[in-house]
Amino acid sequence: LRDHIYADFNYMRTNDLGALEFSGRYPDNLLEEINNYSIVAGVVARTLDFDIIHSHDWLTYPAGIHAKQVTGKPMVIHVHATEFDRSRGKPNPTVFGIEKDGMNHADHIITVSNHTRDIVINNYGVDPAKVTTVHNAVTPLTDEQKDVPEHKSKDKVITFLGRITMQKGPEYFVEAAAKVLKNNHNVRFVMAGSGDMMDNMIQLAAERGIADRFHFPGFQRGKQVYEMLKASDVYVMPSVSEPFGISPLEAMQMGCPSIISKQSGCAEILDNVIKTDYWDIDAMADAMNSIITYPAMYEQLRQDGLEEVNKITWDKAGQKVIDIYKRYVH
């Protein structure tokens, strides 16, 4: 039996313990790591007793497929994002192929929004009956998270918080900011995060003559995120293609009104936010202006947003996933 279980390892480079090394990051040899991970999944699957395989995004689809082939157990895949979202419609063919293979082998596919479900059906040619949307939720804040110090400045603060990459539409945030600053100088804009478009955005802010009103604090983690949201008057997520987008929910939890793109999955379940098309910088600038100009509007979005987000729980999402499992476990 032992020889049978470890047969897959014969040609692999292993360490002193006979184990495969994984970097835990996104290394240059990512495809090799994904393949190694799938081999390990096959070994583990042979040794465990379980009912269902649940694979998340393309990095683990080959592992899920291998585990399914070894055990014959049903496989559910969970699509949190597609290569179409990440590439603005110009997918890397290798990644697209791995995604499509995972979808073909899956017994059922869970997507985090109808936006993503439509992409899976239309761009990957999947039968709609095989795809169910389970919207994401947000973890309730601890007292410690809620209790971060408040650094309110005399200026209004409008914040973008996320990866500064083309999927997130950072240039639309900068362009809308330039429009707001034409008429209102008591506003500061924060673009928190890191990414391959950061230098371009610093350059764009300089070209628009608004660099003195723009801050780039870099990647924020843990407590810093909540401090930043609490210090903000408006949170903006102008994503071009956002499978879900949990950050506006986190902003609402901190009592920060949010503007989100209609092209984001969370727009399907949020009512107490302002929604604009990602490319409509005039509408985005108007929304920013309105929230920082009219205290009644700010207060209503703040209160109603808080009430709404507190009802969006992982328990409800988890129950929907369990109901899907039950269809395949007999």
Q: What is the pLDDT of residues 125-165, one digit of tens each?
A: 999 999 999 999 999 988 888 888 777 778 999 999 999 99
Interatomic CA distance for residues 14 and 176, integer angstroms: 53
What pTM does this model have? 0.86
Residue 258: name the closest of 281, 275, 279 by CA: 275
Q: For residues 112 and 133, what is the distance between their CA atoms, to the nearest angstrom?
A: 6
Q: In the prediction, which pLDDT does 20 show? A: 61
Pairwise CA distance, residues 246 & 257, whole Å: 14
| Helix, strand, or coil (residue 54) | strand
Domains of the chain: 2-137+318-328 (3.40.50.2000), 143-309 (3.40.50.2000)
Q: What pLDDT does 145 receive? A: 84
Neighbours of 74 (CB within 10 A): 18
Which amino acid is located at 139 in the chain? T
Question: For 318-330, how does the pLDDT look when each residue is reduced to its tens digit (9 = 90+)?
Answer: 999 999 999 999 7
87 by Cβ neighbours in 10 Å (0-12 / 13-18 / 19+) ranks as: middle
pLDDT of amino acid 33: 87
Mean pLDDT in each 10-residue stretch from start to end of the chain (330 residues)? Answer: 49 58 68 89 93 96 96 97 87 94 98 96 97 96 84 89 94 98 95 96 98 95 91 96 94 96 96 98 98 97 96 96 95
Cβ(274)–Cβ(292) under 8 Å?
no
Task: Give the H or E element holding residue 243.
Answer: none
Amino acid at 305: G
pLDDT of 25: 62
- For CA atoms 277, 230, 136, 216, give the dihedral sign: positive
Closest CA to 77 of 67, 85, 91: 67
Nearest-5° Cα angle at 42, 37 to 47: 125
Q: Count the Cβ atoms, other than its own, within 10 Å of residue 176.
A: 27
CA 61 distance to own-chain centroid: 18
